[in-house]
Amino acid sequence: MTGTPLQLTMRAIRKADYWIALPVDAPIAGGVSGDTLPELYEEVEAAKHFILDAPSEAEIVVTYLYEVAGVSPTVLDTYRELRTQRDQVAARLGETAREAVAALRAAGVSVRDSAALLELSKSRIDQLSA
């Protein structure tokens, strides 16, 4: 499918023993519920086209805003932001490690010395060389 995906923001609120998700700025005001977050996500997935009054073939990206009594939304947002940054850095680190191993091998540096230079195990150097 081509084009820009539609955006749906859902406010997920923890009640006594279930979750409810309410759409933010959507044509349909009704929400969905689930006993657990995974159940809630399934319900949102099933209802998202209806909520946005969109055709079934439309791509819809769902964003959640969480409300849990006694938990600052900032804590959850900061955690997610830092986790995203960590994953991006890990991906860059992996790419750079492969480039470094390739450069060291091309320069004739042994696996053992490459491992010492990069502070990795010899087996990790072998994996990165593959």
Token representation of residue 41:
């996500």
The amino acid sitting at 54 is A
Q: 6-71: what CATH class?
A: alpha beta
**With contact defined as beta carbons under 8 Å apart, do 59 and 52 qualify?**
no
- Six-digit token pair at 12? 């997920």
How many whole angstroms from its chain centre is CA 11? 18
4-62 pLDDT, tens per residue?
Answer: 999 999 999 999 999 999 999 888 878 999 999 999 999 999 999 999 999 999 999 99
Alpha carbon distance 47, 33 (integer Å): 11
- Over the chain, what is the mean pLDDT? 94
111 with 123: CB under 8 angstroms?
no
